[in-house]
Amino acid sequence: MKLLQLSPSELQQRLSGPGVWLRTGPFSLRVQSRIPSVAKGLVDLYGQFETRDSRHAFADFHVELNAPSTLRRWLRPQVDFSFDGSLPFKPLPLDQAYPMLEWGLNWCVSMHAHQYLIIHAAVVEKNGLAAILPAPPGSGKSTLTAGLVLSGWRLLSDELTLIDRLSGLIHPLPRPVSLKNQSIDVIRGFSLEAFINRASHDTAKGTVAHMRPPRESVRRQHEPARPGWVIFPKWTAGAETVLSPRSKAQTFMFLAQNAFNYSHLGTDGFRVGTTLIEHVDCYDFQYSQLPEAVAAFDRLAATPHDVD
Same structural domain, 130 and 79: no
Same structural domain, 217 and 278: yes
Same structural domain, 81 and 146: no
Instruction: Give how many domains the chain has, as a whole number.
Output: 2
Q: What pLDDT shows up at residue 138?
A: 81
| 170 close to 155: Cβ distance less than 8 angstroms | no
| 293 close to 234: Cβ distance less than 8 angstroms | no
CA dihedral 211, 135, 181, 130 (to 10 degrees): -20
Residue 56 covered by a domain: yes
Residue 280 covered by a domain: yes
User: How far is residue 44's CA from residue 167's CA, in Å, rounded to a whole number?
Assistant: 34
Residue 274, amino acid? T
Residues 6+ apart with CB under 8 A from 181: 206, 207
Q: What pLDDT shows up at residue 118?
A: 98
User: How far is residue 79's CA from residue 68's CA, in Å, rounded to a whole number?
Assistant: 6
Q: Which of 182, 114, 123, 187 is nearest to 153 (CA)?
A: 123
Q: Which of 235, 247, 240 is nearest to 281 (CA)?
A: 247
| 229 close to 281: Cβ distance less than 8 angstroms | yes
End-to-end Cα distance, the chain: 40
Q: What pLDDT shows up at residue 135?
A: 83
Same structural domain, 60 and 155: no
| pLDDT exceeds cutoff 80 at 307 | no
Share the mean pLDDT of the chain.
94
Same structural domain, 268 and 146: yes
Tens digit of each residue's pLDDT (9 = 90 or more) over 7-62: 999 999 999 999 999 999 999 999 999 999 999 999 999 999 999 988 888 999 99
Helix (H) / strand (E) element for 37: namely helix 36-46
| 30 close to 85: Cβ distance less than 8 angstroms | no
Buried b (16+ CB within 10 A) or exposed e, 216-237: ebbebbeebbebbbbbbbbbee
What pairing do the DSSP bridges indicate for beta strands 78-83 and 92-93? antiparallel
Same structural domain, 259 and 286: yes
Task: Name the domain boundary from 75, 91, 112.
Answer: 112
User: How far is residue 101's CA from residue 53's CA, in Å, rounded to a whole number?
Assistant: 20
Same structural domain, 121 and 78: no
| pLDDT exceeds cutoff 70 at 72 | no
Q: Which of 269, 222, 267 is nearest to 114 (CA)?
A: 269
User: How far is residue 211's CA from residue 194's CA, in Å, rounded to a whole number?
Assistant: 7
What pairing do the DSSP bridges indicate for beta strands 78-83 and 206-211? unpaired
| 217 close to 24: Cβ distance less than 8 angstroms | no
Same structural domain, 104 and 129: no
Residue 104 covered by a domain: yes
Residues 6+ apart with CB under 8 A from 56: none
pLDDT (average), residues 191-205: 94
Helix (H) / strand (E) element for 263: namely helix 262-265
Same structural domain, 221 and 138: yes
Residue 121, amino acid? A
Residue 7 covered by a domain: yes
Task: Name the domain boundary from 91, 112, 133.
Answer: 112
What radius of gyration, in Å, describes the C-alpha atoms of the chain?
19
Confidence grade of residue 306 (pLDDT, cut at 50, 70, 90): low
Same structural domain, 94 and 207: no
Residue 93 covered by a domain: yes
Same structural domain, 170 and 289: yes
Question: CA 283 from chain center: how many Å?
Answer: 22
Residue 308 covered by a domain: no
Domain that holds residue 144: 116-302
Runs of H (alpha helix) within 191-247: 215-219
Residues 6+ apart with CB under 8 A from 144: 122, 133, 233, 235, 287, 290, 293
Residue 307 covered by a domain: no
Task: Name the domain boundary from 97, 112, 127.
Answer: 112
Confidence grade of residue 73 (pLDDT, cut at 50, 70, 90): low
Q: What pLDDT shows up at residue 76?
A: 79
Residue 46, amino acid? Y
Same structural domain, 24 and 64: yes
Residue 21 covered by a domain: yes
